[in-house]
Amino acid sequence: MMLTREKLLENLRYDPEAGLFFWVKARARNIRKVGDVAGLPRKKGYSQIWIENRPYASHRLAFLYMTGRWPDVVDHIDGDKTNNRWDNLRECSGSTLNNANMRRPSRNTSGIKGVSWSSSNGRWYASIMRDGRSYNLGYYDLKEDAASAYANAAKRLFGEFARAA
C-alpha cells in the first residue's frame, strides 16, 4: 500500500524553504529523536527516507507533502539531486522531460552537452535524444556552432526543461 499524506504528516515535517524533512516521532533505542533531520543519501545522489519499512525518495515525499498526491516524475530544476527545496521541484509528465534537464554526462569530453568530436570528419558533431531516439543535428567546423545547434534543438523539443550545459 502506498504511503498517504496523513501517514507522512504523522512521521515527518517538511521545511519547503530548506528542502529538509524532520522527524516528528522518536524511535526506540534513541535511533532517532524528534527534530532530527530525516533522510540518507543514496548512490545516485538522491536522499531517501524509510517510513514503515519502506524507502521513499525525499523529493517525491516533498511533492506528496505539499500537494497531497503522488507525482509521476519529479524534476530538480537546477539539476542538483540534493536540493529538495519546494521552489526547485516540479512535476514532469514523464522521464523524457526529466532526462532533458540532466547535466552534461561526465564521460563527455567536449565540455558541451550533445556535442562531440568526429575524428573521421575532423569536425564537431551535434546530436540530441528524445524518446530513446537519437537525432543528428549536423557537423560543424566550430564547436560553438554545434553547441548552438544543440541548444536550439533542446529548447524546441523540451521547452522549459531544456538544459544545454
Contact, 113 vs 106, CB < 8 A? no
Cell of 56: 521513499
Domain end (from 67, 92, 117): 92
Give dist(CA 23, CA 3) in Å, integer: 16
Task: Tell the residue number behind the cell numbers 500500500, with chain if given.
Answer: 1
Among 37, 70, 92, identify where a domain stops: 92
Last residue within a domain, chosen from 92, 119, 136: 92
Alpha helices in the chain (DSSP H): 5-11, 58-67, 95-100, 143-158
Considering the domain architecture, whether residues 17 and 87 belong to the same structural domain is answered as yes
Band of pLDDT at residue 29, cut at 50, 70 and 90: low
Domain containing 154: what range?
A: 104-161
Element (DSSP H or E) covering residue 20: strand 20-23
What's the pTM? 0.63
Beta bridge partners of residue 57, listed in sequence order: 48
Check which CATH number belongs to the domain holding 111 and give it. Answer: 3.30.730.10
User: Using one digit for the tens of pLDDT, what is the confidence trace for 1-13?
Assistant: 689 999 999 999 9
More confident residue, 30 or 97: 30
Number of domains forming the structure of the chain? 2
The whole-number pLDDT of residue 58 equals: 95
Neighbours of 161 (CB within 10 A): 20
pLDDT digits (tens, 9 = 90+) for 45-79: 889 999 988 999 999 999 999 999 998 888 888 88
The answer to whether residues 84 and 110 belong to one domain is no
d(CA 113, CA 128): 9
Same domain as 78, residue 10: yes
In a domain, 99, yes or no: no
Angstrom distance (rounded) from CA 57 to CA 42: 9
Other Cβ atoms less than 10 A from the Cβ of 157: the count is 17
**CA 80, 82, 83, 86 torsion-angle sign:** positive
**Residue 157: pLDDT band by 50, 70, 90 thresholds?**
confident
Quote the radius of gyration of the chain (alpha carbons, Å).
20
